[in-house]
């Protein structure tokens, strides 16, 4: 991947993982305050090679390997960010983020409020998340709801290479802490062309990926792939589905979702996190509160089970698939 790291302003064709690398590279090239830290991010280029080539280009003072200590990574990032740097910290897998939560919840998320705006905390904490790669325990969690529940944190989840590139640039430039969860199941699943020009995408906004008039499908992260496949299958049966990529989990762009549901009258929410108390539950609640008179059927949720992600032999039973989405749509279309 290191050979692909070029600040070219030209069209590139990359997978999501390489888009993450390109975005970090661009920002380090243009802002000397941007630093990278985490376990194996330097010499090894990260467990998935997302930071490949950065240490060779920018040196060990800006790309720092840390001990196997997530609490230290979180604390270092908070301290650096309050002193003028813009750290990009990596947690190898989101399931190991919990030792760093004290620093995220009690310091990063509160810094602006605590100091009445005197200090902010411009840090990004990146973490591969979600299932689908047959990893063992603690390697497949979907923790977006947990992070979104903390006031003061932005939570962003890209679903494609172009959105990973643009959203990560925006996250690095944001003056407040951003949790950037990367769906590792689609790290290398498909390529996409986009311009490597340093242009950020807006945070706190949904992206409407497909226009439709019959039903609204809302999803994010890796589940966008199955949601779009379901929309294609529905089209063959004459059902015109609108697909919305939430992208920024917190703050949540409910306006885009509400406008769509008000027009279609039906809503199915798709995610792989456990169903109870999840982001899907929050979206369903707000749709019911603010769009009730426009609904022609109850909001449906397609989600993971309320259990730990199983080991790889049973992982496919846990992950929502296209048939699950089609069944939920069928149920919605039949109800009045």
Residues with catalytic annotation? Answer: 139
Contact at 8 Å (CB) between 96 and 70? yes
What is the rounded distance in angstroms from the CA atom of residue 123 to the CA atom of residue 88?
6
Of the candidates 317, 226, 211, 329, the residue with the CA atom closest to the CA atom of residue 271: 226
CA distances, 278 to each of 36, 144, 190, 282, 302 (Å)? 30, 8, 27, 7, 11
CB of 142 closer than 8 Å to CB of 97: no
179 with 206: CB under 8 angstroms?
no
Hey, what's the torsion of the CAs at 97, 98, 103, 108, to 10 degrees? 60
Phi first, then psi, for residue 333 (nearest 5°) are: -70, -25
User: Helix, strand or coil for residue 136?
Assistant: coil
What are the strands of the beta sheet with 241-245, ordered from one edge? 207-210, 241-245, 215-219, 267-274, 300-304
Query: In this structure, what DSSP letter does residue 314 have?
Result: G
- Identify which of 291, 239, 335, 320 has the alpha carbon closest to the alpha carbon of residue 283: 291
Q: How far apart are CA 108 and CA 125, in angstroms?
A: 11
Give how far the C-alpha of residue 193 lies from the chain's centroid of Cα atoms, to the nearest Å: 20
Q: Which of 254, 240, 172, 181 lies closest to 212, judged by CA?
A: 240
Instruction: Identify whether the C-beta of residue 128 lies closer than 8 Å to the C-beta of residue 182.
Output: yes
């Amino acid at each position: 991947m290191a050979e692909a790291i070029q600040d070219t302003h030209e069209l590139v064709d990359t997978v999501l993982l390489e888009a993450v690398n390109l975005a970090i590279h661009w920002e380090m090239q243009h802002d000397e305050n941007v630093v990278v830290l985490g376990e194996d991010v330097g010499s090894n280029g990260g467990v998935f090679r997302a930071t490949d080539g950065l240490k060779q280009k920018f040196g060990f003072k800006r790309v720092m390997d840390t001990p196997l200590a997530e609490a230290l990574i979180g604390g270092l990032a908070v301290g650096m960010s309050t002193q003028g740097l813009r750290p990009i910290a990596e947690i190898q897998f989101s399931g190991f983020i919990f030792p760093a939560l004290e620093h995220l919840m009690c310091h990063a998320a509160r810094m602006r409020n605590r100091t009445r705006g005197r200090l902010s905390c411009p840090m990004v904490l990146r973490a591969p998340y979600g299932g689908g790669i047959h990893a063992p325990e603690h390697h497949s969690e979907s923790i977006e709801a947990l992070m979104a529940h903390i006031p003061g944190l932005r939570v962003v989840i890209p679903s494609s290479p172009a959105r990973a590139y643009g959203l990560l640039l925006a996250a690095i430039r944001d003056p407040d802490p951003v949790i950037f969860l990367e769906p590792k199941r689609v790290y290398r699943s498909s390529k996409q062309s986009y311009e490597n020009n340093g242009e950020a995408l807006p945070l706190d906004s949904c992206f409407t990926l497909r226009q439709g008039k019959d039903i609204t499908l809302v999803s994010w992260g890796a589940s966008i792939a199955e949601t779009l496949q379901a929309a294609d299958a529905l089209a063959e049966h004459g059902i015109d589905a609108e697909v919305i990529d939430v992208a920024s989990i917190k703050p949540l762009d409910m306006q885009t979702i509400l406008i769509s549901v008000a027009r279609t009258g039906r809503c199915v929410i798709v995610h792989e996190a456990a169903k109870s108390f999840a982001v899907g539950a929050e979206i369903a609640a707000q749709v019911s509160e603010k769009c009730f008179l426009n609904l022609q059927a109850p909001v449906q949720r397609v989600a993971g089970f309320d259990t730990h992600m199983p080991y790889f032999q049973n992982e496919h039973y846990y992950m929502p698939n296209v048939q699950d989405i089609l069944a939920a749509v069928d149920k919605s279309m039949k109800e009045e």
